[in-house]
Structure 1
Amino acid sequence: VSTDTELGGYVREFETRVRHDTDEIYMRLDDEQTKRQLLAGRLNMLFRDRRAHAYTRQLMETEARMSREAWGQVTALQAQVTTLQGQQGLARDYTQSELPEEAGGSA
């Protein structure tokens, strides 16, 4: 009977250790699986971010190009306005110098 009791104790201890070791193995596997899932999620997020950053870069480059074009057009328009203002000034000077002669010629 003593041998059966001792054997039963060993079996229970062995069973307890096996369960404990099995639980520990499963916990480690779960931890690794969780780490892999986290890494996979981060990798997917990086790919999405990469696409978003590329799109943002493209938008910024387009905006910069359009801004340069607008700046060039503003500069050209300013030059045209200056030219027109100069021509109007000459025209005013010309008409003012002509008015007294016309007034004098008709009197």
Structure 2
Amino acid sequence: MREFETRIRQDTDEIYMRLDDEQSERQLLAGRLNMLFRDRRAHAYIRHLMETEARLSREAWVRSTDTSDLVCGEVMSLRTTILGQMTEIRESHAADRKRQIVILEMLRAEHRRSTEITGLRTAL
């Protein structure tokens, strides 16, 4: 009979220990759950910040791409303008050289006439 009482006490003690362990584990889980509920608002705010940052980053990238395309178009336009002006400058230089040749020929002819007139005057 004593053995039976001892066995019952041991079983009862073991049951109470398990109940205490279970109660401690439930309290721990309840504490963790409460912490998660408290942190939920902070996590939602962080998610909102991250989504806002991602959206602003995409918008900045689109603006950057648009600006880059615009600048590229402007550069191409300026290159075309410069090439056209370089052609005009070359044509102006060629026309100027022709005019200089004509002027030199006219000056030489004038010099010859002047020399002939001077020679005729001295001969008279």
Structure with higher Rg: it is 2
What whole-Å deviation, never above 9, does each CA across 1:5-24 have from its counterpart, x for those lacking one? Answer: x7986665332222222211
What whole-Å deviation, never above 9, does each CA across 1:69-106 have from its counterpart, x for those lacking one? Answer: 111111111111100001111111122222344x4xxx
Q: TM-score, normalised by structure 2?
A: 0.68
User: Which portions of structure 1, spanning 4 or more consecutive aligned residues, are displaced by more than 3 angstroms?
Assistant: 6-12
Q: 2:40 aligns with which of 15, 18, 26?
A: 18
Query: What is the root-mean-square deviation in Å for CA atoms of aligned residues?
Result: 2.0
Q: 2:112 aligns with which of 84, 87, 90?
A: 90
| Residue segments in structure 1 that go unaligned for 5+ positions in a row | 1-5
1:53 equivalenced with 2:57 (yes/no): no
Q: 2:88 aligns with which of 54, 58, 66?
A: 66
| Residue segments in structure 2 that go unaligned for 5+ positions in a row | 1-26
Q: TM-score, normalised by structure 1?
A: 0.78
Equivalent AA in structure 1 for residue 94 of structure 2 = G
**Fraction of identical pairs, as percent:** 8
